[in-house]
Amino acid sequence: GGSYRPKDCQSRNKVAIILPFRNRSQHLTVFLHYMHPFLQRQQLDYTIFVVEQTGTYGLPFNRGMLLNVGFVEAQRSDTFQCFIFHDVDILPEDDRNIYSCPEIGRPRHMSFVIDIHDYKPVSLMFLFGGGVIAISAVDFVLANGYSNAFSGLGLEDDDFYRRIRRLNMSVARPNIPAEHLRYRTLYHDPSVDVNPNRQQLFDDGYLRFESDGLINLKYRPSDIELKPLYTHVVVDLT
pLDDT in tens for each of the 238 residues of the chain? 999 999 988 888 899 999 999 888 999 999 999 999 999 999 999 999 999 998 655 678 899 999 999 999 999 999 999 999 999 999 999 999 999 999 999 999 999 899 988 998 887 655 554 689 999 999 999 999 999 998 887 788 889 999 999 999 988 888 889 899 999 999 776 656 777 788 888 889 888 999 999 999 999 888 899 999 999 999 988 6
Which residue stretches of the chain are H helix? 25-41, 63-77, 137-142, 156-166, 198-203
Residues 121, 74: Cα–Cα separation, whole Å:
31
Contact 133, 107 (CB under 8 A): yes
* 9 touches 193 (CB < 8 A): no
Helix, strand or coil, per DSSP, at residue 26: helix
Q: Are 189 and 35 in contact (CB under 8 A)?
A: no
pLDDT score at 192: 64
Q: What is the pLDDT of residue 125?
A: 56
Largest CA distance in the chain: 52
Up-side HSE of residue 129: CA atoms within 13 Å toward CB? Answer: 24
DSSP-based helix, strand, coil % in the chain, nearest 5: 30, 25, 45
Q: Contact at 8 Å (CB) between 82 and 173?
A: no
Cα–Cα distance measured from residue 1 to residue 186, given in angstroms and rounded to the nearest whole number = 24
b or e along 52-76 (b: 16 or more beta carbons within 10 Å of the residue's beta carbon)?
bbeeeeebbbbbbbbbbbbbbbbee
Would you say 6 and 47 are in contact if contact means Cβ atoms under 8 Å apart? no
DSSP string, 159-187: HHHHHHHHTT---B--SS-GGGGEEEEPP
Does this model's pTM top 0.85? My answer is yes
All domains of the chain in start order, with CATH? 3-237 (3.90.550.10)
Give the model's pLDDT for residue 213.
Answer: 96
